[in-house]
Structure formats: structure tokens, C-alpha cells
A and B are shown apart, each in its own frame.
Chain A
Amino acid sequence: MILVNKETRVLVQGITGREGSFHTKAMLEYGTKILAGVTPGKGGQKVHGVKVYNSVEEALRENPSINTSIVFVPAPYAADAVYEAIDAEIKLIVVITEHIPIHDELRFITYARLKGTRIIGPNCPGIISPGVAKVGIMPGHIFEKGVVGIVSRSGTLTYEIAHAISKAGLGQSTCVGIGGDPIVGTDFIEVLKLFEEDEETKAVVVIGEIGGSMEERLAKWIKEKRYSKPVIAYIAGRTAPPGKRMGHAGAIISMGMGTAESKIKAFEKAGVPVAKTSREVVGILLKYV
């Protein structure tokens, strides 16, 4: 498993909000160790038994073993929350918040990379290592402990494919939702590097979609590096019209760039099989593991 394991100790930023509180409960039920929450001005309260602090610094002073933060703070204030976590030296920050201004994302992601902090997201479902912990908003029961690493730009589509993988008896080592925005903190290549070093992971499923060229860069990298584990790709948006945002801010074919065809072609050139339907992913996987 990668990123999230039994050592994971979580801080929830924006814990008193509707989403923050709801998912704190779901994460606790899944077995995630949540040590503290932060909402400025709400220090001293408790949310599902988790103590709330006014600042990240305060939360860490009393809970020095926190090593991961999950951010539910609303978009206009999300950047501030992320900077606060970076400056408090938390090294893994999962940003769930959608609709964060793109210039804010550019700056806090650049800052995080300079400081050696890993950001997952924004606008993502988070990370789950089945049976161990989830730092995210995905329905836990769909996932089963196993050998397939999943990395995805989408939420529910990941659940769909993970469910099929679970039903086939393969299960997942870790699933990472990297987010649906044009700018993300951690890209496909970085997650595949982690999966390569992870012994439990026997194969990797990449769930991409239209927009940008992250899939094309990944395909090129897989070929050049001679990636050691089987990779199976699925690309959503073959039927998406150009110039239209398909739900995610990053899912847009602009100026002829970012089409599904371009991504599929790149993967095929790199010898990565591309499933035509989500069900086909499992069929291909079974040939490898």
C-alpha cells in the first residue's frame, strides 16, 4: 500500500462543516485514526468525539503524531488552510474541496513542492488503503484488500471500477484519486512511481479522462522507463464534445488538445492496454494477475 497505512494519523481541516463532519464519522467508522480537527473560532468543540482546535499549530502541539491532513474547507478559504498545514510541516495533505480558484492552486501547489509536502487533489475523493484506513470520501465497503493499485482523476467512476475489481476477487492495494481540476498536486507519474516500489501492488489501473496531457506524459514515461508492473488504462469522455467542461474543471478539450483519442493512442503506443468499457478493465487485469 502507498501513502495511507497503519501509521497514518489524521487531522481534519474544516471538521465542523457539513461535509467535514459527515466524512469524519465515515472515516472513523472505517478505522482511520483521526486525532484532531481544526476550524478557526470553533476550538474546544467535539465532532464525533474528535477534539476541535482553532489552528493547525495548536492541534499539532497536543497531537504531535499527526502526519496527514484532509481538507474540507470551502473554496474561498481552502488555500489558507493548505498553507497552514504546509507550514506546520504536515507532509501529506489531501484536498477534497472543489471549485478552488486556479491561481490559488498554482501557488499553494508550487509552495508545497518546494517545501517537500505532497498534495493530493484538489477536487478529489482522497486515498484509501482497503482494510487499513481511508483518508477520503469514498464509500469504504466497495473496496477490498488486494493487489491492484488504482489511480484516477474521477470519483464515482473509480468506485465503479474498484467494485468490479473487488467482485473479481483481486481487491486493491491503494486507490488514489488525484483530482479533477486542471492543476493537481500529484500527477499520474508520481503515483505510479510509488506503486512500482510497493510490493503488494501487482498491477496498476489508470483511470483518465479528457483534458490536459497527463495521460500522454504518463504513457511516454511508462515506455521510456520500462515500467516494471502491468498497467491498464481507461479513458472517460470518448463522446465528449470539444470546448465543453464535462463536470470537472479539468475535463475539457480545448484548442484540439486533450481528446480521448490522443490519450488512447499514446497508451497504445506505449504498449498499455486501454479498456473500452469499465467492465473490460477487469477482463484485461485477469490476464495479468
Chain B
Amino acid sequence: MKLYEYQAREIYMKYGIPVPKGEVASSPQEVRRIAEKLGSPVVIKAQILVAGRGKAGGILFAETPEEAEKISRNLLGKKIKGCVVKKVLVVEKVQFEKEYFLSITVDRDNRVYCFLVSRRGGVNVEELAKKHPEDLLRVNINPLVGLLDYQIRKILSFLSLTSNQKKDLYKIIKAMYEIMRKYDCELVEINPLAVTTRGDLIALDTRMIIDDNSKYRHPDIEEPEEEYTEYEKIAKEKGFSYVELDGDIGVIGNGAGLTMATMDLVFHYGGRPANFLDIGGGARAERVKEAVKVLLQHPRVKVILVNILGGITRCDEVAKGIVAAVKEASVEKPIFVRMMGTNEEEGKRILRSAGINVYESMEEAALAAVKVVR
């Protein structure tokens, strides 16, 4: 779960990390009021979850409250990188001399927390790692031991700071780690951490991603509305694991790996998968019916390919679900099914008597589906 900048900012503030003064707004009038209160030139930042909003015109500057109101009138409601701007963060414009990059992530391969620090802030860190690896410092933190003082000293000495700035950064680093642990984060990032012309450290952008599996521990955090497509929303509501692609062959499978392999097979035979839809393990007829209906309704899907390997999932239940979906739907689309495993014969019988194509192997089924669209 990615948080909006303003949500992360509130948490950072609670932990004593300095951020520019400001507030979040959802109307041009509010923006003006905040700018008046700040009494200085402001930065207006679109609150969207995709990266790279600056280059896409999502971060704008205003000298006066009037200008801020005018700018935000255009920005609010605008679509940036596919996301509609519903809120903006209005903050004082900070004059700064230097920018750094700080982040904590989970390093999945080494099974540790990783603190990444760069002497160059404000830029994309992946690019940085490629172009200036000498300016990047990695500190691995053992999850049982936690962040140690010597590790913080290593980070402090990597950046050229005054002794007062070092004291401040020490507190920021500690706070970041505390946030990482307290909020079950996958990412806590400050980019950039700026050194102002007055010599103060300040977090100009604040990012946080909370582990999806830990959401239940943080009921107080409002989940941002992510930009899902219409059908991603429908499938999500019904509890399916669903991802939209741009092809025309709808893919349903049981299990993530098998469903991905089915998509890949469609592509291998020259077709284009329209989606990834995993019905999970042990799905009953009702659930299968709902899954098939999602794809029957989807205008881009021309044919549906179902690949089931029965274990705890029973083929007869799947067959009943498919037949029920076809009966209830108002549209007709060719459906190709491959099923194998528990109650396979009964499943195939149900499908055949309803006139639905059923195959022995996933290769045959995928090939047949591809032929229809080509």
C-alpha cells in the first residue's frame, strides 16, 4: 500500500523529521487560504501515487496566493500519468544548496533491511546506481539486531555535513528506521533531503509503502484510492487476483504461476493476453462463474481461455461455474477450457454437454484460443 506524500509527511512529522510548512488541499480556495497563511512563495504538489510526477507537470510554483489559486484550479482534476489529481499539497518554497537521498527498503535477496544513502538527491535512484555508484552507500541492517550506532556514523561520515547537521541527520535516520518498523514498511524514503541556505536539513519529499500483508495492523491509515481500471476494480471487489493487460485473449487459471504460464503460452503462439485472473485454490462453482462473467463483460476480451489444474480445486465445480456464467450472460464469446486433475471426467462431461470446447493439454487449448482471434 503506497501512501500519498501528505500521509507520509504527517507520519514523518510525528517522528520529528523536519518538513516544509504547509497543508493539504482539495479546492483552489483552500490552496489560496494556505498560501496566504504561509505568506511566502509556495510549491503546489499533485497528490498521486505514480513516480515522476515532477517531469509530468505535477509540481508547480506560485509567488502569490492568487497565482496559487489559479495554478491549482488547473491542476486539481487534471490527469497526470493516468491518475486524476484530487488533492494537492501546498508547502512553503524552500531555498536549498544541496540535496541528498535517503531510503530504507527490505532487501529480499539478502533478507535484511537496507539503508541506501546518496550524495546526489532529487534524482531517480535506479539511474543513480548505474551512473554514479561511487556516490551511493548501502548499509545492511540485521532485522533481529536493528540499526546500530556505528552504522549511523558510517552514513554521517559519507556525507559532507557540519557537526550540527550531523546531529540532526542522526535523529532523522533513527526516526526513519523507527517508522520502517512501526508501520511495517517496504519503503521509507526521503528524496531529496535538502540542506537549506540557512544550513538546516529538511525532507522535501516523503514516500512510504506499507506491506500489504500488514495492513490489518494499521487500521488508522486511510488506504489511498489507487488508479485501477474499471475491470480491475470489479475483479478486486470479487476477491480475484487480477491484472489488466492490453491484448484480447482473456486468461483464467488457478494459481499465480500457472496463470502466468498460460499468459506466456498465449503470447508464445502469437496471441495477446488481455489479463491475468487467478481464481486461487479450491474455488467453487459460484466463484468461477463470477470470474468468467468479468471476462465475458470485458469489451476487449474476444475469447476466453481457462486453464485449471485440479488439486483442491475440483474440475466439476469449475465446469459448473463456466456453464452458469455462459447461461446468465447476455454476450457470447468462444471459451476454451483445459482441465486436469480432481473430478476431471465429470468436469469435461458437463462442459461438452453445454457445447464448450475442452482440451487435454494447455498447449492445445491456448493454440485453439489464439487461432480464433488471428
Contact = CB atoms under 8 A, between A and B. Distances in A.
Nearest to A163: B340
Contacts of A249: 212-213
A209 B109 contact: no
8 contacts: A75-B213, A109-B111, A209-B260, A210-B260, A239-B264, A246-B256, A246-B259, A248-B256
Contacts of B212: 249
State the main secondary structure of chain B at its contact with A: mixed
A103 B106 CA distance: 9
Contact of A139 (B108, B264, B342): B342
Interface in A49-91: 75-76
A48 interface: no
A32 interface: no
B257 interface: yes
Interface in A137-195: 137-139, 142, 152-160, 163, 180, 182-183
Nearest to B181: A103
Give the residue among B186, B214, B264 with the most A Cβ atoms within 10 A. Answer: B264
A251 B267 CA distance: 19
Contacts of A227: none
Contacts of B263: 239-240
A210 B259 CA distance: 13
B184 A251 contact: no
Interface residues of B, number: 52
Contact of B311 (A110, A154, A159, A251): A159
Interface in B250-281: 253-261, 263-268, 273, 276, 278, 281
A255 interface: yes
A41 interface: no
Give the residue among A182, A210, A214 with the most B Cβ atoms within 10 A. Answer: A182
A247 B211 contact: no
Contacts of A239: 245, 260, 263-264, 266-267, 273
A262 interface: no
A212 interface: yes
Interface of A: 22, 75-76, 99-103, 106-107, 109-111, 114, 137-139, 142, 152-160, 163, 180, 182-183, 207, 209-210, 212-214, 217, 234, 236-241, 244-251, 255-256, 276-279
Nearest to A241: B245
Contacts of A250: 108
B363 A157 contact: no
B176 interface: no
Contacts of B181: 103
B285 to A, nearest CB: 19
B278 A160 contact: no
A220 B328 CA distance: 53
A213 to B, nearest CB: 6
B310 A139 contact: yes
Nearest to A182: B108
Contact of A247 (B125, B216, B259, B342): B259
B243 interface: yes
Nearest to A234: B261
A180 B311 contact: no
Contact of B257 (A101, A158, A183): A158
Contact of B216 (A76, A180, A238): A76
B261 A183 contact: no
Contacts of B186: 102
Contact of A240 (B254, B255, B276): B276
